[in-house]
């Protein structure tokens, strides 16, 4: 069986290395990683380490590298999408003529498409149409790339509506260092991953403002309520947004309180940088802020569902209208009282 990994950034490199190590002695499993950056592929082939990240972590020799989408896709039973979310549509469009019938496409991006507010299962389905048989799945959880390459004990959800494929993916990706939990709610897992990044930006802003931890957890918890209500109105299952869920409870906790890219981006804003300056600093570090893109479409989803989103709306104002962060916090606190909620 051939597993293709699209993208060799932080997470793509970490996953390719993880799979390579797991199947290092299994000659029946072929791991191939692709990147459109030819210089990066050339460097990885020669040195087997990443030029920007994890410079002391080598790729196993069984991980093959290519800058050809055709070579990557042909014969691959599983394609792991580990590229920036906004490049997924174009990449799938360019790759679809090479994909095998019956391929499983496992997405890892945690965002929604700019302009359409669509999940990437919707985006991929639109691009592939009826050209071949395929199954879509999603990997999501509290899994920093740094922790994966360091073999830390971690947990993640894999979501797929096809239970047979879901079990197969669980077995393939599960190991002694990465525990995989199955979930059939693909839509919910996609929304959970996207929304938690937006909330992590807010957590970073609060931290950058040097407000106490209780302020941070208060706003995380209430923003989480808004996100869950939107997702459920859009068709997600409530259980996906539970505390024990790896794609929500685990990932939200980790991203909002750990050293995540989205939290660090928010922290820069809270510390005094403009959103544009903060984004440039993250780009300088070769660190993609996926929550930046999802924040832009939050208002569209709120209008679509009719959910009140005073906190998520303030995150939009901070990031895109460059509203003073402390003014946003004050406006959140000064708004009218909530009504009693029936349980």
Closest CA to 240 of 194, 281, 282, 276: 194
196: annotated active-site residue: yes
Distance CA 5, CA 158 (A): 16
305-308 contacts, C-beta under 8 A, 24 or more apart: 305/229, 305/230, 305/233, 305/234, 306/233, 307/226, 307/229, 307/230, 307/233, 308/226
- Pair 299, 316: CB distance under 8 Å: yes
> Which one from 110, 168, 196, 267 is the annotated catalytic residue?
196
11-38: buried (b, 16+ CB within 10 Å) or exposed (e) per residue?
bbbbbbbbbbbbbeeeeebbbbbbbbee
Distance CA 205, CA 328 (A): 10
Question: Which secondary-structure segment (H or E) carries 154?
Answer: strand 154-159
86-95: buried (b, 16+ CB within 10 Å) or exposed (e) per residue?
bebbebbeeb
Catalytically annotated residues: 196
């Amino acid at each position: 069986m051939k597993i293709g990994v699209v993208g060799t950034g932080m997470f793509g490199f970490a996953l390719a290395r993880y799979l390579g190590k797991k199947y290092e002695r299994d000659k029946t499993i072929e791991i191939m990683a692709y990147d459109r950056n030819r210089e990066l592929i050339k460097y990885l082939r020669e040195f087997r380490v990443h030029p920007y990240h994890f410079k002391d972590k080598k790729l196993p020799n069984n991980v093959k590298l290519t800058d050809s989408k055709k070579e990557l896709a042909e014969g691959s039973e599983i394609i792991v999408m580990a590229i920036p979310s906004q490049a997924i549509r174009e990449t799938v469009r360019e790759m679809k003529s090479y994909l095998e019938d019956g391929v499983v496409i496992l997405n890892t991006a945690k965002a929604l498409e700019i302009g359409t507010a669509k999940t990437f299962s919707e985006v991929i389905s639109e691009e592939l149409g009826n050209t071949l048989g395929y199954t879509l799945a999603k990997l999501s959880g509290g899994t920093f790339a740094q922790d994966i390459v360091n073999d830390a004990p971690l947990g993640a959800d894999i979501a797929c509506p096809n239970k047979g494929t879901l079990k197969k993916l669980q077995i393939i990706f599960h190991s002694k260092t990465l525990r995989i939990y199955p979930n059939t709610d693909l839509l919910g897992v996609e929304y959970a991953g996207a929304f938690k990044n937006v909330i992590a930006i807010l957590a970073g802003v609060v931290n950058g403002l040097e407000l106490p931890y209780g302020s941070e957890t208060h706003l995380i918890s209430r923003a989480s309520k808004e996100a869950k209500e939107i997702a459920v109105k859009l068709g997600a299952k409530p259980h996906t947004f539970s505390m024990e869920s790896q794609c929500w409870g685990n990932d939200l906790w980790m991203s909002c309180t750990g050293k995540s890219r989205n939290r660090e981006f928010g922290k820069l804003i809270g510390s005094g940088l403009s959103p544009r300056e903060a984004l440039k600093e993250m780009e300088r570090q070769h660190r993609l802020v996926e929550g930046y893109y999802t924040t832009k479409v939050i208002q569209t989803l709120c209008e679509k569902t009719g959910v009140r989103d005073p906190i998520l709306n303030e995150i939009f104002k901070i990031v895109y209208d460059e509203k003073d962060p402390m003014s946003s916090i004050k406006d959140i606190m000064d708004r009218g009282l909530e009504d009693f909620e029936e349980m």
